[in-house]
Amino acid sequence: MKTLDLPISTLAYIGDAVYELQIRLSLLKLYAAKAGTLHREVIKLVNAEAQAEALQLVLPYLSESEIQVVKRAGNQSVPSARNIDPADYRQATAFETLIGYIYLEGNTERLLDLLSKANPDLEFHRL
């Protein structure tokens, strides 16, 4: 099955996991902290609002095919959680979908490049 044939929800599910793991590992290198402290710092970067901002930071660098993935995800009807702006939730889902798509395509260098653009103060490495 081609990556683009996967449902948006599946791409976003994988992208969410990949992004959070990358953020956790990156912050672990910065902070020699207990898990609870590390978790609080991670949440600041992986919540819907932060992911919506991350999408805005990477948009200028996306290829046409990546833009199509983002548009497809942004047009998808997704249930939003309470207390989250629906626009932020859609953009966060689009960001997660993009990350999932790039990861499943096996384009590690591109993934690391976009993660660095979304979070310029952090260092990312191959999983």
Residues labelled catalytic: 16
CA distances from 72 to 6, 41, 57, 105 (A): 12, 30, 18, 17
- Architecture in CATH of 3-118: Orthogonal Bundle (1.10)
Residues 6 or more apart whose Cβ sits within 8 Å of residue 119:
23, 26, 45, 54
| Tens digit of each residue's pLDDT (9 = 90 or more) over 22-47 | 999 999 998 888 999 999 999 999 99
Taking residues 93-99, report their average pLDDT. Answer: 98
| Tens digit of each residue's pLDDT (9 = 90 or more) over 53-84 | 999 999 999 999 999 999 999 888 766 667 88
CA distances from 57 to 3, 28, 29, 114, 118 (A): 24, 23, 23, 9, 5
Q: How many helices (H) and strands (E) does the chain have?
A: 6, 0
